[in-house]
Amino acid sequence: MLILIPCLFLFVPALALVILRATQPNARYGWLVATGGAALGFFGVFAWLAVMPFDWILPAWQPLAVFPTPISFRADGVSWALATSIFALILSILLTGAIRRVSVHSFSWIGALALGGFGALAVAANNPVTLVLMWSSLDLAELLAQLSSAQSARNNERAVISFATRIAGSAFLLWSYITSFSNGSGYTFQSIPSSAGAYLVIAVGLRLGVFPLHLPYDAGSALRRGFGTALRLVGAVASLGALGRGLIVPSGATPFLAFFASVAALYGGWMWLRSPDELTGRPYWMIGIAALSVLSALSGSPTGAAAWACALILAGGALFLSSVQDARLNRALLGGAWSLSSLPFSLTASAWTGSLGFFFPFALAAQALMTAGFVRHALRPSGDDSLADQPAWARGAYPAGIVLLLIVQLLLGFLGWDSALQIGNLIFAPAASLLALGLVWGSRRFRVLNPARAHWVSAAGSGINGMYQGLWSMYRGLARLGLAVTDALEGEGGIMWTLLFMALFISIIAGGIQ
């Protein structure tokens, strides 16, 4: 039950806000309820450290012959680090939301709290069945949020395509479980069979747009900061968390998966570096970091994969939530570059402790591109908010939310899990850092490295999206053909068509008998 208690600190305030909105829509203390619950959840997850590792297993479903695997959660070093990152993001969203006009609407608080609770349970899931249930909850929440905020039929279509791709990822995870179960052994994430590892990687890649490479998120969505950040990052970490729970045993598919992950990492890094602002480049940030996490898992470093997931939500969250022109906070954001560097005692120090082999230079270039892009966006914020005209409590809450994410990044580099206090790869990390510094230096001198305009970024992504739109057009064409056949059979000529098919069927059977 100790796993559930911090999540309840998010679910209960979310339910309380729903009741308050229905009974007292003008209540002015909703923000305190949401922030108080998130703070209790954040500090409550630190109680896991006293008794880790431990399990929470729900009663098995009946009959056992049909449902042999119970719903199971496990608190260990990796799940604690991921859950801490999620709780820190939710609390930071609420603290920084104090200065935004959208903060007067409790729907965004309710959504962020619910996503955080389900995300924390997802990273603690101990077997594929439990994880699929948590993934499905997050997918439904994201689909409803995207459909409710979409302003055109095309955006609705993109939301459905994204949802279908994530469902395909969940199906691959179930297939990995079915494959191992058919061989007489189900599995938990601490002991992943060799036959299931490739399916698990493909499942995560599909959910995040890595296999095949595509943009599952609408860069122009109205969900930008605040709830939009929770919607994007919590789901990503809930997917990547599965890669950090156990060792992926190499198989024949490993080189092919590593190749596609390298292409995705380079593409995401280049587009992230050249994005005009951090929110426009957020889909590429997610693709690039997710691909690096996949490469870490394939190289034999599961804690490195989890470290990249923590960096995605902590460093990215601090950057995406920053909407105030404040020189001190902007400089403090550069702490995220330290987390991305893989230098000793940094958050991602364990990222490359495995064997990358042929893919070493591709991972090196991708990490340098992601780090250089982060430095550029941190030093060039695009927010228009100001703290000058805010009340005193808001002027204190906003920087506290940003600093919280920076402190947790440093904290996870030194304590709490297996990736803490790691020296890392002393060849890879300095080389990636020097290359990132070179890219930052060259960006002011070479036009090709300068930020591109927003329409250029959209055009660059349209080629890949165009392929998926083409496939979707084929699907719509087949659907229209099916409707035409249905109308023909159900219309006035339906009886005639039925008699014709019956005559053809009888003649075929008669010919076969002769």
Least confident of 299-303, 362-366, 367-371, 456-460: 456-460
How much is the pLDDT for 174?
85
The per-residue pLDDT for 366 is: 93
- Computed from CA positions of residues 493, 498, 499, 500, in that sequence, does the dihedral angle turn out positive or negative? positive
User: Quick check: bond before 6 cis, omega within 30?
Assistant: no
How many Cα atoms sit within 13 Å of 253 on the Cβ side?
14
For residue 467, the model assigns a pLDDT of: 56
Question: Who wins on pLDDT, 278 or 153?
Answer: 278
252 vs 435 pLDDT, higher one: 435
Q: Which residue has the higher pLDDT, 313 or 176?
A: 313
Highest mean pLDDT among 80-94, 271-285, 393-407 belongs to 80-94
CA distance 427 to 273: 23
Out of 1-10, 16-25, 215-224, 258-267, pick the least confident. Answer: 215-224
pLDDT of residue 354: 82
Tell me, what's the pLDDT at 449? 67
Q: Is pLDDT at 350 greater than 70 in this prediction?
A: yes
* CA atoms in the 13 A half-sphere facing the CB of 496: 4
Kindly state the helix (H) or strand (E) to which residue 54 belongs, with its residue range: strand 54-57
Mean pLDDT of the chain: 81
Average pLDDT of the segment spanning 354-364 = 87
Looking at the predicted structure, is the pLDDT value of residue 485 above 70?
Answer: no
Q: For residue 380, is pLDDT > 50?
A: yes
Span 445-468, pLDDT tens digits: 776 666 665 444 444 455 555 555
Residue 139 confidence (pLDDT) above 80: yes
pLDDT of 222? 47
Q: What is the DSSP string of 204-271?
A: HHHHHTTTTT---S-TT-S--STHHHHHHHHHHHHHHGGGGSS-----TTHHHHHHHHHHHHHHHHHH
Distance CA 377, CA 285 (A): 11
Task: Return the pLDDT at 250.
Answer: 77
Residue 140's pLDDT band (cuts 50, 70, 90): confident
pLDDT at 497: 60
What is the rounded CA–CA span in Å between residue 222 and residue 448?
30
Comparison of pLDDT for 357 and 491, the residue scoring more: 357
- The pTM for the full model equals 0.86
Identify which of 214, 285, 293, 308 has the alpha carbon closest to the alpha carbon of residue 258: 293
pLDDT at 327: 75
At 443 the pLDDT is 75
- 8 A C-beta contact, residue 320 and residue 432: no
Name the maximum alpha-carbon separation found in the chain.
Answer: 94
- Rounded Cα–Cα distance for residues 369 and 257 (Å): 21
pLDDT at 490: 59
Interatomic CA distance for residues 384 and 245, integer angstroms: 40
Model confidence at 122, pLDDT cuts 50, 70, 90, reads very high
pLDDT of residue 103: 44
Residue 23 confidence (pLDDT) = 82
Segment 285-305, tens digit of pLDDT: 999 999 999 999 998 888 999
pLDDT of residue 213: 63
Report percent pLDDT > 70 for the chain. 77
Compute the residue count for the chain.
514
Does position 244 have pLDDT exceeding 90, yes or no? Answer: no
Of 161-165, 208-212, 416-420, the one with minimum mean pLDDT is: 208-212
Distances (CA, A) of 23 to 19, 26, 195, 339: 6, 9, 53, 45
Banded model confidence at residue 479, pLDDT cuts 50, 70, 90: low
Mean pLDDT throughout 124-136? 89
Q: Give mean pLDDT, residues 248-265.
A: 86
Instruction: Provide mean pLDDT across the span 242-250.
Output: 82
